[in-house]
Structure 1
Amino acid sequence: MEKSYILGRQVGSGVDGSVCVITESSTGYQYACKSIDRSDNAAVLHAHAEITMLERLRGHPNIVTYHGHFEDERQLHIVMDLEGDDLCSHLQERGPRPEKEAARILKAVVSAVAFCHERRVMHRDIKPDNILVPSKQSGYENVKLADFGASADFSDRRCLRDVEGTSYYVAPEVLTGTGYDEKVDIWSLGILLHVILSGYVPFHGKSKLIFSVTSRQEVLT
């Protein structure tokens, strides 16, 4: 990318990196920039997978828009649209949503997931943290699915066995080692709906599991 950006405030952080606001020098437009430390091989691998998937998924109104990426000596940077709060923060602030509002959120996310599956992409980490609510003036029909670092290509219909996802949102077949397909996203959508309506996850385990991607907020209450 042959563009110049001015680095601004940090708006988020996660397992694989931090997210800051950047301003394009020539236009004044602002974007979100996810920055990944290049010394973290696993994080860089996730980032390249995310870039590949975001390129494939361009054009859907409920999927975060990718604008390119660039690298410097220390970090890999992914440039995306600047949106509002994630759904996790939104629910913490406003509480569980009534059925009509929950239905509008889920309809938008299901549309995004269907688009992903049509293009042979499974997300594998659907949760409130990875759903963006654009602004307080924007309706729930405009929420956007984000963070494709754990996503996978299933173009060849292979059965996946690696453990990716977030505690409490991951489908049981991911944990059994018998293999799974894109339907694991459907399980996560069910957990998501429960959280939106109630503010808490439906299942709790006695053992502590380790996942490749961990949730910033497992319980919203």
Structure 2
Amino acid sequence: MTTNEEDKIICVLRQLMDKGMDRRNIVKFHDTFDTRLGKAMVLELLDMSLLRYYNTHRPLPLEDIRSITKEVAVALQALKDMSIIHADLKLDNVMVVDQSQRPLKIKLIDFGLSMYSSEAKAGMRIQHVWRR
């Protein structure tokens, strides 16, 4: 990842935090620090990915499905309100906050491919090839 890409991701996360989007199911971004490999981000501690949760709790109870659906919808609406496209939404990028808590709470993570809606062009391919 280039410095420009890192800076863009950090800029997006800072804007999301400035608008309080961590309360709308977006991972809470705290700060960055430099390492010999580039910038590292300090994010809130979350329990596990939705993929791992699903694989250990099959079949999902209807209550969990409802909670997950609602929580993802809130996060996507928050991104829409900010004119941001996540562009890499998958079970690995949805995290369960605390698997013992009910109703189940989730947060979106990984804004590495995110972009502003104004940057998107018709026919643009932004996801990894094997995810398309």
TM over 0.5: yes
Gapped regions of structure 1 (runs ≥ 5): 1-39, 167-209, 215-221
2:44 aligned with 1:81 = yes
> Percent identity between the aligned chains?
24
Cα drift, residue 158 of structure 1: 5.0
Q: Deviations over 1:31-60 (max 9, x none)?
A: xxxxxxxxx43xx55433321221121223
TM-score (normalizing by structure 2): 0.82
Number of matched pairs: 127
Instruction: Identify the structure with the greater helix proportion.
Output: 2
Instruction: Identify which of 98, 120, 125 aligns with 1:163.
Output: 125
TM-score (normalizing by structure 1): 0.52
Q: How does 1:17-56 map to 2 (within 5 A)?
A: 40-41=1-2, 44-56=3-15
Aligned equivalents of 1:90 and 1:46: distance in 2?
30
The structure with higher relative contact order (CA 8 Å, sep 6+) is: 2
Gapped regions of structure 2 (runs ≥ 5): none
Q: Which amino acid aligns with 2:36?
A: E
Aligned equivalents of 1:141 and 1:94: distance in 2?
13
CA contact (8 A) 2:30 2:44 kept: yes
Cα drift, residue 140 of structure 1: 4.5
2:55 aligned with 1:96 = no
Cα drift, residue 69 of structure 1: 0.9
Q: Provide the alpha-carbon RMSD of the alignment.
A: 2.1
Aligned equivalents of 1:118 and 1:72: distance in 2?
33
Instruction: Identify which of 88, 91, 110 aligns with 1:128.
Output: 91
CA contact (8 A) 1:50 1:147 kept: no
The 1:158/1:72 distance shift into structure 2, 3 A limit, reads: closer
